[in-house]
A and B are shown apart, each in its own frame.
Chain A
Amino acid sequence: MKRLAIVLAAAAIGLLAGCGPSRTPFHIIAGSEQKSLEPLILDFCKQQHTECRIDYKGSLDIGLMLDAEAAPEVDAIWPASSLWVEMYDSRRRVKALKSIYTTPVILGVRMDKAKDLGWVGRSVRMTDVLSAVKAHKLSFLMTSATQSNSGAAAYLSMLASTLGDGSRLDPSALQDAAAQAMVKTLLQGVARSSGSSGWLKDLYLDTAKAGQPYEAMWNYEAVIKEANDVLRSRGGSLLYAIYPAEGSTYADAPLGYVEHGQGQANRSFFDKLQAFLLSAKAQQQIASSGRRTAPGMASPPKSEADWNFDPSRTVPSIGLPEPAIISKSLTLYQEVLRRPSLTALCLDFSGSMQGKGEAQLKAAMRTLLNPSEASRSLIQWSRADHIIVIPFDATVRTVLEGDGDATSQARLMASVETETAGGGTDMYACASAAFKAMQPYLNKGYLPALVLMTDGRSERENDFAQVWRTEGHQIPVFGVTFGDADKTQLNQAADLTRARVFDGGKNLTEAFRSARGYN
């Protein structure tokens, strides 16, 4: 009898749990370009008395998350483009995917540069961009095409422009030597890359604030507007919007439900959230931010002729191929066409890394320095890359160099495998050694980056800024932390060099992978 009562009580609790809203927060994974719309969502959640959590990931990460064996523990995704869902959601986990707004990826060119190039007030073709890059008159920021949607969009537009009238990506461009040479030259214009469109905008704004703005940036029309709103408020020079005449690749910002048996309450909340974002009220707020909304949903913001912004203007889109061809295009970018990387990896083998730390660091390197493992996340090296690996403790243990050839990577990995943790910590000694090792390769067309991985605090730091200024050649210094590392020093180095720090506390491999996406 007592047992029956327990069973009945449990059943009643189960039933109640099935009826009520989920106790865990409604979890959304969004692209970084949605960040400025976060308050809109959180206000709605508050009104609905539902706790919401929004985390930001790159488009590829969202795709890989959908593709994983285990269903992701998230309720909704809001990537930049449905392209990534089409490419990776083979298990059909995403339901009710609907575009919330659209925004084309365009080239924002610093006003004085746009005037110098004679691009103000006239139609600009991708061949004009190519000529400017070739003549060393233009360089730009662009996210990694394999990690982030805005970079992919810019790259696909470049690839499309190489054949025919450029208005459609002809799959034969992937086999065409002249087409590849053209895109390779265009990508020589990349001054800095990243895995996040939002971060790229912040990088531009930071450098503009410091009086050293980059020349241009490929990004969403809406993000260029956000950047210009800040630049205008500071009284700085704006980015002039170039819409390549051949057309642009659009982001369609689709919101979709990720089904993994959460129950009806979660789904109902999602439906309400999607309906809210597509309501006239929310669409008006979204349109005011410079994003394009469907006809009749909202009045577009006023055009701003001083930077060529007119959200009512029809911007033709590039005709994109099937997802399988897009995947091949992205592999071509990573393995052949992108600007080659010059990457130095400083790996902490100090005593505190003994055990778990050493094992995880080696595991991370086995992913990074293994072509088939790395290609799963589209971060594989190419033969054109130059890789420097420096294991360190209180001193630099050795400086290993190689390229992206599989044999060369295996050799680097074999050396890393022989290292064992021990001794003190001085990441600054490693950084100095890395700058020296990179020196002969600078100004040879590489995109340089130093990745400093450490789990501790280095004692000697007083002259790092000075060393970077004299020997660092503007090389960005990314940080990867492990364990409960003190982030202060890595943050200082990243801030100084306009890079960022990745937390490897939970997953060191992921942190290295993310860092690699910025190079």
Chain B
Amino acid sequence: MALSRRSLVGLGVLGASAAATGGAIVFRESPIVRGLIGRSVALKGYVGGEKMAFVENPRTIAALKSSALVMTSERAGSVEQVRDPKLLATKPQFLWPSSAPLVELARRSAKVLKDEVIFNSPIVIYSWKPIAEGLIRAGIATREGAHYYVDARALIDAVLQRKSWKDLGQPDLYGRVRLTATDPNKSNSGFMFAGLAANLLSGDVATMDSLPGVLPKLTDLFQGMGFKSSSSGKVFDDYVAGGPGAQPMVVGYENQLVEWILADKDRWKRIEGAGGPAKPVALYMKPTVFSAHPLIALGPEAIPLIEALMSKPLQEIGWRDHGFRGPLGSVGAQTDPMIAGRMPDQITSVTPMPDIETMLTLLKSLS
């Protein structure tokens, strides 16, 4: 059947229209264009407490919006977000825990479409200036420039030996040395500290072979801590709120104090100017472990989020406003004058985490 001229013209119009519509659809699906026309994709997921301030930072929100992304994040412990069936049943599109080995755990519970380390932060111990000075007097800490370093094994031994604060150069505090971490079965900073302690007590990176020999001490260390929160962010909030009496030493991420200083610079000026014992300090452990913060995309919509978070503007916000080091542990280009020199450029003494099977066995013993 031959087509009339009118029909051909009609088909041509239809084809052009279809091409234009298709083009517009492709064009509109570009994240930048979606951002420009204000049609953002809202992504729902769980984020470790220590990154909530980054996620809620208006500059972060604006930068993500320009990539047409909106993060609807709920705080959840890093370990529980990759393991807890109740949390995974809520169908999160992304998870953002604080440790690379946790990606392996996430794979066992959900289909991971893509994952990439966005930030890095070493695990530190938060304490108070008089306590840090006491540790120096007791011979287990040093001060190098503006930074305090503590012998991690010696500190863990002091806790296990139930040494008193007096033994550690702090006669003003009654009782035994107390160090608190988060619940390693729920939150990453406790999880990482458990891995570090296992390494230190084993004398090398802990393995399935060496772990049984050190488990009694590890169990004692964690049981002795008593109540352990499920969120690193909450532990840090409690640390600054509680002061040296309530919270003498807690395990946290390097960036948390930086973020806290930058969140209210006047507050920090008042602390520096005031007398009294309430001056927060970070004790860098020798050795320590690096906490990586991998974003795990469980839904296809979350894959562009990885690209956006790896972009220069968002990496700079992570460093400048929140003290997160880049994916390779390096410091950012711009540093707020308020925190310049506060963080060592290089963290030289780092131990790798035990493998995931060893960690799972360890977690089981600590639950």
Q: Which residue of A lies closest to B175 (CB)?
A: A167
Q: Mark B269-286, 1 if CB is under 8 A from A, else 0.
A: 111001011111000000
Q: Does B38 contact A (CB under 8 A)?
A: no
Instruction: Give the docked Cα–Cα distance between A295 and B273 (Å).
Output: 11
Contact with A along B248-260 (1 / 0, CB 8 A): 1000000000000
Residues of A within 8 A of B243 (CB): 102, 292, 294-295, 314
Segment among B191-199, B232-240, B338-346, B352-360 that sits at the interface with chain A: B232-240
Bound CA span A43–B173, Å: 39
Contact of A168 among B178, B237, B279 (CB under 8 A): B178
Scan A345-387; emit 1 where CB is below 8 A from any B CB, else 0.
Answer: 0000000000000000000000000000000000000000000
A423 at the interface (CB under 8 A from B): no
Say which residue of B226, B242, B276 sits within 8 Å of A250 (CB atoms). Answer: B242
A72-112 vs B, CB cutoff 8 Å, 1 = contact: the mask equals: 00000000001100100000000111110110100000000
Q: Which chain A residues border B224 with CB–CB below 8 Å?
A: 168, 319
Give chain A residues whose Cβ lies under 8 Å from the Cβ of B246: 102, 104, 250, 252, 315, 317
Interface string of A41-71 (1 = CB under 8 A from B): 0000000000000000000000000000000
Q: Tell me the smallest distance from the CB of B20 to a CB of chain A, in Å.
A: 31
1/0 per residue, CB under 8 A from B, across A320-336: the answer is 11110010000000000
Say yes or no: is B83 at the interface (Cβ < 8 Å to chain A): no
* A169 vs B74: C-alpha distance when bound (angstroms): 33
Asked if A252 and B175 sit within 8 Å, CB to CB, the answer is: no
Query: Given the known A-B contacts A168-B175, A168-B178, are A322 and B240 also in contact in the complex, defined by CB atoms under 8 Å?
Result: no
Interchain nearest-CB distance for A421 vs B (Å) = 48
Known: A86-B227, A295-B271, A296-B271. A316 touches B242 (CB 8 A): no
Kindly list chain B residues whose C-beta atoms are within 8 Å of the C-beta of A82: 238
CA distance A432 to B227 in the complex (A): 49
Q: How far is the CA of A296 from the CA of B244 in the complex (A)?
A: 13
Complex contacts, A98 vs chain B, CB 8 Å: 237, 241
* Residues of chain B lying within 8 A (CB to CB) of residue A295: 240, 243, 267, 271, 274, 278-280
A137 CB to closest chain B CB (Å) equals 24
Taken residue by residue from 121 to 154, chain A's Cβ proximity to chain B (1 for < 8 Å, 0 otherwise) reads as 0000000000000000000000000000000000
- Tell yes or no: A117 within 8 A of B by CB: no
Instruction: Determine how close the nearest CB of chain B comes to the CB of A71; give it in whole angstroms.
Output: 16
**B209 interface residue (CB < 8 Å to A):** no
A245 CB within 8 Å of chain B: yes
Q: Which chain A residue shows the least CB distance to B261?
A: A296
Interface assignment of A280: CB less than 8 Å from any CB of chain B: yes
Smallest Cβ distance from B161 to chain A, in angstroms?
A: 13
Number of interface residues of B (CB under 8 A): 41
Inter-chain contact B278/A316, CB cutoff 8 Å: no
Interface string of A159-179 (1 = CB under 8 A from B): 000001111110000000000
Bound form: Cα–Cα A247–B165 in Å: 13
Within 8 A of B (CB), among A2-42: none
Q: Within the complex, which residue of B226, B241, B244 is in contact with A319, where a contact is CB–CB below 8 Å?
A: B226
Taking a contact as CB atoms under 8 Å apart, the answer to whether A252 and B242 are in contact is yes
Q: Are A252 and B245 closer than 8 Å at their CB atoms?
A: no
Chain B residues, CB < 8 A from A312:
276
Q: Is the CB of A247 within 8 A of B267?
A: no
A246 near B: Cβ within 8 Å? yes
| Chain A residues in 8 Å Cβ range of B225 | 319
Residues of B within 8 A of A101 (CB): 241
Known contacts A97-B234, A246-B175, A314-B277; A102 and B226 CB within 8 A of each other: no
Central interface residue in B238, B248, B271, B280, by most chain A CB within 10 Å: B238
Complex: how many Å from CA A312 to CA B172?
Answer: 13
For residue A171, which residue of chain B has the nearest CB? Answer: B223
State how many angstroms separate the Cβ of A37 from the closest Cβ of chain B: 16
| Cβ-based interface call for B144 (8 A) | no
CB-CB under 8 A for A297 and B242, given A316-B174, A322-B227:
no
Question: Which B residues are in CB contact (< 8 Å) with A164?
Answer: 162, 176
Interfacial chain B residues near A104, Cβ < 8 Å: 245-246
With CB as the reference atom, state the residue of chain A lying closest to B269.
A296
Determine if A322 and B226 form an interchain contact, defined as CB atoms under 8 angstroms apart: yes
> B48-89 vs A: 1/0 string, CB under 8 Å?
000000000000000000000000001100000000000000
The residue of chain B having its C-beta at the shortest distance from the C-beta of A326 within the complex is: B227
Write the nearest CB–CB distance from B304 to chain A, whole angstroms. 25
Contacts of A316 in B (CB 8 A): 173-175, 245, 248
Residue of A nearest to B240 (CB): A294
Given A86-B227, A97-B234: A246 touches B174 (CB 8 Å cut-off) = yes
- Give the CA-CA distance A101 to B243 in the complex, in Å: 11
B241 near A252 with CB under 8 A, answer yes
Closest-by-CB residue of A relative to B233 is A98
Contacting pair B274 A296 (CB below 8 A):
yes
Question: What are 11 pairs between A and B in contact, CB < 8 Å?
Answer: A82-B238, A102-B241, A165-B175, A168-B226, A296-B270, A314-B172, A314-B173, A317-B245, A319-B178, A319-B224, A322-B227
Report which B residues bind A (CB closer than 8 A): 74-75, 162, 164, 172-176, 178, 224-229, 234, 237-238, 240-248, 264, 266-271, 274, 276-280
Give me the 3 closest cross-chain CB pairs, A-B, nearest first. Answer: A167-B175, A296-B271, A295-B278
